[in-house]
Structure 1
Amino acid sequence: MNRAGVQPRLISGGVFISIVTVCKNNKEGLIRTWESVLLQETNDWEWIVIDGVSVDGTLSFLNELSDPKVTYISEPDKGLYDAMNKGIERSSGQYILFLNSGDQLQNPDVINLIKHSAKQNKCPDFLYGDSYEMTLRKDLLYKRARTYRTLWYGMFTNHQAMVYKRSSIGDIRYRLEYPIGADYAFTAEILRTSATSYYIPKSICIFEQGGLSYTHQKRGEEDQWYIRRDILRLSWLLRVLIKLLHVTIFRFKKSFPKYYEKVRFTYGK
């Protein structure tokens, strides 16, 4: 039973899920994302594209789409997370999934899988699953999610494999003071206030490595330090221990990348 004391149900007559895609000058990646959405075996979705004034033909591609389930805007923004906030404001689905340009839904049955999981589990506030990661070498790695209870450590699965109930988001938005870790802060705030979560033991997305968290890891760690302090409210000692754990794992990852991949991923599952 949810916080209002009413048996939860899927919204009748409304779209089930809003897929929010942020892009800028990545037309080819956007096309891959769109194709994975278009292939879905259900039409119970809307695709919202927030473009940061691309000049690579992205707008021409979007203008050619005639699907009424697709909406987009193209205007300046304050970065990735500001654009994602714009997507939240424009969403009408019961759930929201953030799938950035270049990322893909893993197979044509993903939205049906999410919808079935939500319906069978009383429409939880938050659902998450596993993912595939496409490396810069173009290897496809299967990444199994950790339990959401390891939020203290960091993101327990890729952000693109997390599904948020719109009513549970409420007034929560991506905090722009965390330029790299805003997705972590957003998820932490949702989970601190949400009553129910459900793990889907299957892949939700194909995530392209090389994004902000990969290219600005030092700043990402700094953001996480303050998120653990201000949102998760962890003690100084616990934050230090987590930091040491991160440093150890990062050094292992850099020194022995193949061994790290064997521990964290499964090739081409």
Structure 2
Amino acid sequence: MNISLITATYNSEATITGAIESINQQVFANVEWIIIDGASKDATLSIIKKDFSGELKIVSEKDNGIYDALNKGIRMATGVVIGFVHSDDFLAKPNVLSKVALAFEDSKINGVYGDLQYVNKEDTSKLVRYWKSEQFTPDLLKKGWMPAHPTLFLRKEVYEKHGNFNLNYKIAADYDFMLRIFSDPDLNFKYLPMVFTKMRVGGASNRSLKNIKLKSQEDLKALRSNRIKNPLKVLAYKNFSKLGQFVGN
């Protein structure tokens, strides 16, 4: 089995080293890393080419945002399994990919996910928020549940069945996509109770009040388009559930 990891970059020289080191350190070696770069003007690509030690594919051109970039990566991927490591993120432990690959040895499993930790942007040893997930059941969708998208690994055939990210969403295309796949009764998912990914705080969806408002609007649109009952109630559950993830300093 091989795994394709996709990373969208744009002027990411300040953080990309963390992603590189975390992938280099994986004990699972059968990895294809796909970089979809938005025509960076800094040293992002030279750092990647210099420091990454594995199989690498790079496309550098202007795109229509992160979801457009991720869709390009999905189309390029040759792995049986596809996952994402965003340019601000890094894999939490050297055994993450080996644990994921082991779970996919069960041919009935279509997707695998774990936990995510938000960490301080400057000091990644400082924990800000812990997104602990759980084993999926259909009733969880009614409670606004979703796994942390950066921790979600899927067989490529899932994308072939359900399509890629909908570019009509600026911030919530990942939520729309997950509603699609987790609403599919023919797909089976496995939760591994371990931290897959560490993410620096300051992502696109929570960078400003304007973006928080847009995220809620797009989440509601996604719930309605995927025919989730009582979408306003589900959205309230979804937002409220995040409060318990924050940790004291």
- Regarding TM over 0.5, the answer is yes
Post-superposition offset of 1:265: 4.8
Q: How many residues align?
A: 239
Deviations 1:14-35 (A, max 9, x none): xx21010011011121111011
**Matched residue SS, 1:115:** helix
Return closer, same or farther for 1:152/1:47 CA change in 2, 3 Å cut-off.
farther
- 1:92-111 mapped onto 2 (5 Å cutoff): 92-111=78-97
8 Å CA contact 1:20, 1:99 repeated in 2: yes
Post-superposition offset of 1:151: 3.2
Equivalent residue for 1:168?
158
Scaled by the length of structure 1, the TM-score of the pair is: 0.81
Q: What percent of counterpart residues are identical?
A: 26
Post-superposition offset of 1:64: 3.0
Does residue 142 of structure 1 match 2:130?
yes
Amino acid at match of 2:131: K
Equivalent residue for 2:7?
21
Deviations 1:69-106 (A, max 9, x none): 11111000000000000000110111111111020111
8 Å CA contact 1:39, 1:108 repeated in 2: yes
Equivalent residue for 1:8?
none
CA-based RMSD: 2.3
Scaled by the length of structure 2, the TM-score of the pair is: 0.87
8 Å CA contact 2:144, 2:238 repeated in 1: no
| Bigger Cα Rg | 1
Equivalent residue for 1:182?
173
- 1:148-159 mapped onto 2 (5 Å cutoff): 148-149=136-137, 150-154=140-144, 156-159=146-149
Equivalent residue for 1:228?
223
Q: Which residues of structure 2 form unaligned runs of 5+?
A: none
Return closer, same or farther for 1:152/1:214 CA change in 2, 3 Å cut-off.
farther
Post-superposition offset of 1:156: 2.4
Post-superposition offset of 1:63: 3.8
Deviations 1:115-145 (A, max 9, x none): 11221x3351111111221145742243311
Return closer, same or farther for 1:145/1:48 CA change in 2, 3 Å cut-off.
same
8 Å CA contact 2:135, 2:190 repeated in 1: no
Supply the distance in 1 between the matched residues of 2:205 and 2:145 (Cα, whole angstroms). 11
Please list every run of at least 4 consecutive aligned residues from structure 1 whose deviation after the TM superposition is greater than 6 angstroms: none
Amino acid at match of 2:152: M
User: Which deviates the most, 40-49 or 184-193?
Assistant: 184-193
Supply the distance in 1 between the matched residues of 2:111 and 2:77 (Cα, whole angstroms). 16
Post-superposition offset of 1:242: 2.6
User: Which deviates the most, 102-111 or 145-154?
Assistant: 145-154
Equivalent residue for 1:129?
114
Amino acid at match of 1:229: R
Post-superposition offset of 1:208: 1.7
- 1:1-269 mapped onto 2 (5 Å cutoff): 11=1, 16-64=2-50, 67=53, 69-119=55-105, 121-136=106-121, 138=123, 139-140=126-127, 141-149=129-137, 150-154=140-144, 156-170=146-160, 172-193=163-184, 194-215=186-207, 216-231=211-226, 233-235=227-229, 238-245=230-237, 249=240, 260=243, 263-265=244-246
Amino acid at match of 2:10: K
